[in-house]
Amino acid sequence: MKFKLFISVLLMSAIGFSQALDRPPQFVLISFDGSKSHNFWKETFKLSQDVKGQFTYFVSGVYFLQKKDKLNYQPPKRNAGASDIGFAENDLGDIKRRTEAVWHGLSELNPAMEIGSHVNGHFDGSYWTYEEWTKEFTEFHRLVEKVFSFYPTMNTRFANQWESTLHAEIKGFRAPLLAGQVSITGKVLSDFKYTYDASQVLKGKWPYKRTPDLWNIGLSRIGLAGTTRETVAMDYNVLYGQCGGVFNPSNAGECETIDDKLLAYYEKQTYYSYIQAFLKHYYGNRMPLSIGHHFSLWNKGIYWKALQRFVRDVCTLPEVKCVTHGKMAEWLNEQNAVHGYSVFNKMNQGLFDKTGISEIPRERLKVDLSMMKKVSFGEKALVVPDISKLVEKVMLKGDLPNAHVEAPGDVDMEQFRYTPPGVN
């Protein structure tokens, strides 16, 4: 009898809490790593403005340093001038266009985008010391914030405001290859007054605090539609799984065996994977859905097209907020201040008011999984390769090869633009 009473008290407590706690929005966090290609900047800006959403860009410091000046960058455990992703072109116009894109996104877009740190040479920092990580962050802020001091002839209308603006803006980080010891990077991030780390992978739970002032706002772990496999919600990880880890010897961003029919299937599979995750979160505990991409056109641009379709389909839905990681951190701090940190345990359990939740997302975003099993094209059935457990293990990691090869800066992006049905 006492046990039953105890359970009843717990249930009433949970019910009472759900009535007191407002239902959180469904946050969707879209981010890009590296961010070198000029035309990709323009396309992502267009997409964000079309849906009145905000994106986060984790930029690399080496893209603000000309290749001929590369010896001015000293990475940990490498020779001066080393970088796995290269440098800016030997043309100040290249760097100037990149600073103009950043400034436009920060100061002229409405709503504005956010700049975060991807540090510099895209190295695996798993075994770096505290001192080495500190040096890498110091180099990043020097390369990005002091670019107009290093290249004084590169005049722009905002040159005098650049350093102070960027110093105040950069408060978030994503580690290259998602690699690093959190006990070390957490301390370094706190030293640099960062407010969040986007380097980890979260499954089924809300962001949480790594230190009193640092949130872990990681990438989402999601299911790959039509399979029993899971992946980090990042374009290259999906690519790796769909290719079975076997790539075209002359094109590391393309499966070894691929054709137009399989590409169409993989594009839909990527889109459906994002949609399934979104619906699960929206009608579940509302944990943020965080998807990371690169300025890349792997497998002929299908991941970029799938992301465009996803963003256009979800960012204008009821109770959805497509915001930057920085805005997400601000909202988390507000909830913590009002309700206390224990509120996030309740959110993880979905203990908030769910009355009157909109059915519009479920009605609009119907996922036809029948096409994921077997798709017929005329007389020939499409056979999709299985994904092994071994490949899935890699899909759930961040340390993947070639996960930084960007599209050329002058690539024609119009041919990779997703056009909604009925729009010419």
Assign 271 a pLDDT band (cuts: 50, 70, 90).
Answer: very high
Note the pLDDT of residue 180.
80
In a domain, 13, yes or no: no
Integer Cα distance of 229 and 198 in angstroms: 23
In a domain, 423, yes or no: no
pLDDT digits (tens, 9 = 90+) for 71-95: 999 999 999 999 999 999 999 999 9
Q: Are 177 and 399 spatial neighbours (Cβ–Cβ below 8 Å)? A: yes
Q: What is the mean pLDDT of residues 233-258?
A: 89
pLDDT digits (tens, 9 = 90+) for 138-157: 999 999 999 999 999 998 99
Peptide bond into 385 cis (omega under 30): no
pLDDT digits (tens, 9 = 90+) for 202-216: 988 999 998 889 999
In a domain, 113, yes or no: yes
The interaxial angle of helices 92-103 and 159-169, nearest 10 deg, is 60
Integer Cα distance of 234 and 220 in angstroms: 9
Does the reported pTM lie above 0.85? Answer: yes
In a domain, 3, yes or no: no
Instruction: Give Cα separations from 369 to 280, 375, 380, 384, 420 (angstroms).
Output: 15, 10, 19, 14, 20
pLDDT digits (tens, 9 = 90+) for 93-139: 999 999 999 999 999 999 999 999 999 999 999 899 999 999 999 99
Note the pLDDT of residue 304.
97
Written as one letter, the residue type at 153 is: T
Tokens read off for 252: 């590391």
CATH code where residue 366 lies: 3.20.20.370
Integer Cα distance of 334 and 64 in angstroms: 35
In a domain, 421, yes or no: no
Note the pLDDT of residue 372.
55
In a domain, 134, yes or no: yes
Assign 17 a pLDDT band (cuts: 50, 70, 90).
Answer: very low
Residue (of 158, 78, 152, 160) closest to 119 by Cα position: 78
Note the pLDDT of residue 216.
96
Assign 34 a pLDDT band (cuts: 50, 70, 90).
Answer: confident
Note the pLDDT of residue 7.
44
pLDDT value at 376 more than 80: no
Domain count, the chain: 1
In a domain, 18, yes or no: no
In a domain, 215, yes or no: yes
What is the span of the domain harbouring residue 348?
24-416
Q: What are the φ and ψ backbone dihedral angles of 148, each rounded to 5 degrees?
A: -80, -20
Q: Measured in Å, how far apart are the chain's first and last C-alpha atoms?
A: 68
Integer Cα distance of 57 and 403 in angstroms: 16
- Calculate ∠ Cα 406-412-262, nearest 5°: 70
